[in-house]
Chain A
């Protein structure tokens, strides 16, 4: 499609598809459909694209303000389908994935199970064997069942269970699906506190209560993602940029700084969208990547929303907590107290918790509105030097956090709390002190919601991960395969299967459904069947 004067974009002849939201899913979807021959219009409320794939430059050092860890890296089907490698998106996956620091020493877990086994055996030979057994089962289950499940439309629970029973990992998954994260690690008999702490932090930080039953599969998936994680070279934004550039070259039209206020439906059929400034965009299909409660309750007229949709939106459970993040630029290179070989190259440093008890206490504290200065620290520039200015090191600290504090406002408390978190980092190094700091940026949960309006109460995952909001039921039984009961209206995004995290699966899955519905050419080979 020829580019058109910005004032005429909305008055153009009908688009095939309007996509609401230029986050990772919206961008992926725009690419698949544009290449399939559709006339696509992407509408984004912010002035920047990428959603959670957001990198900001602070005097030459890059802060990734939202998504940093890419669980599947280059293995996501859209990466190869869309040739993103040629559009400037490459990943860096350090072998050392997570290091838990305790009392001047540390324990590191690696992408490679054998190397991890060796590492754990230094503190506990039995645990090293147990861990290895657990990771083997997890690796198999992810490859055989979960990753295919992520990249296909979900089946109703009976069908899913039936298919599952035929898989090698079926029994394993059925067993752990009912467990809580704590029960999973107990099931494998892991005893070393440092190891238990590391696994709980890696698997639960993103929104799972360690004692919450029926979350074993989610726990396992997060753990898998955090033990094989990558960074996007140059900053998370580069993944969004690679999608954006290709889509524009392919003819996609885009409006930024434009908010959709309504999805226009007439006689049960999608007509397009209306913007908050009154402009209308006509289209055969509308895809909302905005959170489900907003989509069902604000963008659609009540008369068109089915009972299941209404119920799901009204009962929607949001994430149990948000995240507090802090960024620093320090001069020079940090030296860790721990003498463990290669520790500085680890993707994630877990620090501040003295043991599992501290982590559990931090979770209950979070429910009471009290954040705890301990969490995950990453130093992206030690893995990817392009992310810091010359002579500097960039750091990002992440910790679970209440959206609302019990006794203060985040505006008043954020800098003080960031200082406490800095102290945790300082404490595990020999040379990082206040005077090392050249720039600091505290990013409380309130900023997450202000930045990404989709992220209600600083939501990370677009909604809690519970059995009632997973798979076929996410967001509701009649919308989890991306179609809604309204002809031409689709949903996709973190509130829809398969949920949050940078997988691009929502966009990938929805592309197939929409392409078929609109009679477009399915130019790619869908990798998995439901």
Chain B
């Protein structure tokens, strides 16, 4: 009989994070992963020519935002993040380009000035006001939701004069209009915000997205890649688990959480797993890293939940965070046309393209909500030229590029199944569109491969609608209501059962949901007080900035 203190269901990065913290805290821990390898939405795969390492999923690693690198000493377990000076780029057809800096807000300021001096001053005022509170703001994202925390946060935000007092009634476009006049700048920031909250036109959530984009552009959410590809992150988490005596069992899909007298006792494995239908027991806790609906409706079972929870879960909204992926191997970096006005654009690792105006974005959102792929392509889901930072991700002389576009999961014509027949065409459109911003791109392509939302779902059936972040972070299923009212996440109505996904804030490489789950489980089990479990957000990032630039990191703008 296999028995552990803690069972973690699902070896995605947040599941690995909980397991790493608890194993390091001395609990006997096992991670049960359905696939043959951990990482799920943070992986690196060689899907064609050997040596061309594709990052299909998490590509902008923002792990330095949080405390996990230092708490878990991930660099002792092989983590090698690679950063650079330039952050997000968005070129426009008129040859101008929005470009922000990875850590120097002054340089970002100067980039914005090229569009509008007035808007740059507005940006400066906002950033300098908000960033006084950036540490407590970040802290909020690494603490379990509670009414006290929410109130504290609300009071803090209301004290910031630069934040409009009615911002909870504003959407992303409203915030952009409030700060800027130049439409291209509004476009760039709203586009950045879509990576965080999918609908800029939604009140509150849309505003949160754009706020996030604004602080991000002052270096707070700097994106890194990792040596060899994104898989380096889950690999280092796995190494941490293993080195601390934890066990990882791949090909061990869980089909049931065993519940007795309202308490989670363990799990049962699938008949197709490595240990067919075996039961594994947990003395102290079971943590599910699957998303809300599969966790509660499939693994737990409706009979253990109250009617309201079941209703909410059955209607849990997974829309809005569905990405179509096109991966490229090329002979060259992307030679942006905009380089004529600013050669630094060639150094960018992370880019958007295709949205020329806020109208374009509104139309794009509308398309996505109505089952259509925007034509011409609006690529604001995030795109990356990895080899700009790390040459090891492709053979010498070659480059890998991942581009994401926001799409509906269910296509107007044919539903989700239509993706198999449609994806090649969408891939061609993506190539065409990038070529418009970088003439010669198409010729530099050695191979291109589409990976549709249906492919993503087949690869990870817990990601309903191929949602990449655990579920739409919209009002009604956000903060205390995530994933359902009364859940008390990361705790659940079932004793000893916790969740590390579909939890505040959203699942990403900052590892916040895993961290929050770990903190709460550890508190409940009396193992939270560890000498090493004491780091703050941005700790590692500050050290990196010092090494990279020779200066101390500062999120404030001092020029202009």
Contacts and interface: CB of A to CB of B under 8 A. Distances in A.
Contacts of B455: 59-60
Given A248-B239, A447-B49, A57 B245 contact: no
A342 interface: no
Given A47-B53, A237-B36, A248 B243 contact: yes
Nearest to A235: B36
A254 to B, nearest CB: 7
Chain A: number of interface residues, binned into ranges? 35 or more
Given A3-B73, A87-B247, A233-B251, 4 more contacts: A5-B73, A238-B36, A251-B243, A386-B273
B47 A56 contact: yes
B46 interface: yes
Interface residues of B, number: 54
Interface string B319-347: 00000000000000000000000000000
B78 A88 contact: no
A63 B247 CA distance: 25
22 contacts: A6-B78, A7-B75, A47-B228, A56-B47, A59-B451, A59-B456, A59-B459, A60-B459, A60-B461, A88-B252, A90-B275, A234-B251, A237-B37, A238-B250, A238-B274, A248-B239, A384-B272, A386-B270, A386-B273, A386-B274, A441-B47, A450-B49
B282 to A, nearest CB: 17
A56 B45 contact: yes
A238 B35 CA distance: 10
A93 to B, nearest CB: 14
Interface in B430-454: 451, 454
B50 A447 contact: yes
Nearest to B75: A5
Contact of A60 (B80, B227, B392, B458): B458
A13 interface: no
A143 interface: no
Contacts of B240: 3
A275 interface: no
Contacts of B75: 5-7
Interface pairs A-B: 5 shortest CB-CB: A234-B251, A60-B458, A47-B228, A59-B455, A451-B50
B439 to A, nearest CB: 26
Interface of A: 2-7, 47, 55-62, 87-90, 233-235, 237-238, 241, 245, 248-249, 251, 254, 256-257, 384-386, 389-390, 392, 438, 441, 447, 450-451
| Among A7, A57, A241, A447: residue with most chain B CB under 10 A | A57
Interface of B: 34-37, 43-51, 53, 73, 75-80, 227-229, 231-232, 239-240, 242-243, 245, 247-253, 270, 272-275, 392, 395, 420, 451, 454-456, 458-461
A238 B275 CA distance: 13
B461 A245 contact: no
Contact of B253 (A7, A55, A386): A386
A57 B451 CA distance: 12
Contacts of B243: 3, 248-249, 251
Contacts of B245: 249
Contacts of A6: 75-76, 78-80
Contacts of B229: 47
A125 B455 CA distance: 50
B227 A3 contact: no
A63 to B, nearest CB: 9
B36 A257 contact: no
A248 B274 contact: no
A490 B242 CA distance: 28
Contacts of B250: 88, 234, 238, 241
A385 B272 contact: yes
A245 B36 CA distance: 13
A124 B393 CA distance: 56
A451 B395 CA distance: 11
Contacts of A90: 274-275
Contacts of A385: 272
